[in-house]
Every structure is written in structure tokens, then in C-alpha cells.
Structure 1
Amino acid sequence: MGKVTKDSVIGTVIKDSPGARAVIEKHFGGGCFTCPGINMETIAFGSMMHNLDPQKVVDEINAIEH
């Protein structure tokens, strides 16, 4: 997978980057994994919903994967 960005879809990131699951759970909680929205919602949207800086989430995922 290429570099993850704030516009990457959460479900795709989890599927393509196994280490990303822990980062998503850390910042967004476990509810993401049962929500059908993860197949449409971006990291930027999830970050907005959880009052987080999307770049922080992206940087953590990219640090694991690269």
C-alpha cells in the first residue's frame, strides 16, 4: 500500500496495513470495527468525529508501515 493520508478510507487502511488497526483503535476506539461507515469514512472524518488532529493519526500509521 502507498503512504496513508488523511483522505485514506479507514476500512482500506485497516485491510491493507495490518499494523494500522492498533492505531485506529487507540485513537477512535473499538467501535470503528463494527461500524459500516469505515468503508466510506476517511481518517480526516474519523478524526473530526473524535476531535483529533488527523495528521497525528496518519503519522503514526505511516511510522508503523514504513
Structure 2
Amino acid sequence: MTKKPDITKEMTTGEVTEKYPATKEVFSKHFGKSCFDCPAFGTEDINLACMMHNTNVEMFVNELIEAAFKGVESAS
């Protein structure tokens, strides 16, 4: 059984997408596809990104974890 990924709101957007590429869908869903072109993407933490986009951080992190988990499971 695969363990759920440990993603926190303190992690940077770059850390999460690099380690768990499947999470890119969640970023696009909530922040738009252009979020990857933003100069801050990759360096800002999840909490700040959610504040900037008026998105509930707990819900967002849970969606990231689910997407990452599915991505890891399908790669196994």
C-alpha cells in the first residue's frame, strides 16, 4: 500500500510540482494555466499562492495530496 504524500502549505509551488508532477492539474484548476508563467511560481509557498488567489489553503493542500497520491499509485 502506498503512503499518502506529505504535502504542506509551507512547501513551495516548485517543490510540490517537481516531486509530484500530477499536482500541476490542481494548480491549473484553481489558479489557471498561466500560473506556470508567473515569475513567482516555483519560489512562493503554497500558503502565499492560495492567499494571492483567494483559495482555501486546507482544501487546496488536500487536493494536491489526492492528485499526488493518484500520480504515485499510477506510476507504481
Length-normalised TM-score, structure 1? 0.86
Gaps of 5+ in 1: none
- In 2, the alpha carbon distance for the partners of 1:5 and 1:39 equals 15
**Mapped pair 1:25 → 2:28:** yes
Q: Residues 11-54 of structure 1: CA distance to partner in whole angstroms, max 9, x if unpaired? A: 12111101100001101111221122112101111110111111
2:68 is aligned to 65
Unaligned runs of at least 5 residues, structure 2: 70-76
Secondary structure, aligned partner of 1:37: coil
Coordinate RMSD, CA, aligned: 1.2
The answer to whether the Cα contact below 8 Å between 2:26 and 2:67 also exists between their aligned partners in 1 is: no
Equivalent of residue 7 in structure 1, options 6, 10, 15: 10
* Pairwise CA distance, 1:64: 2.2
* TM-score normalised by structure 2 residue count: 0.76
1:54 paired residue number = 57
The percent of aligned pairs where both chains have the same amino acid is: 34
Count residues with an aligned counterpart.
65
Q: Could you tell me which amino acid in structure 2 is paired with residue 42 of structure 1?
A: D
Larger radius of gyration: 2
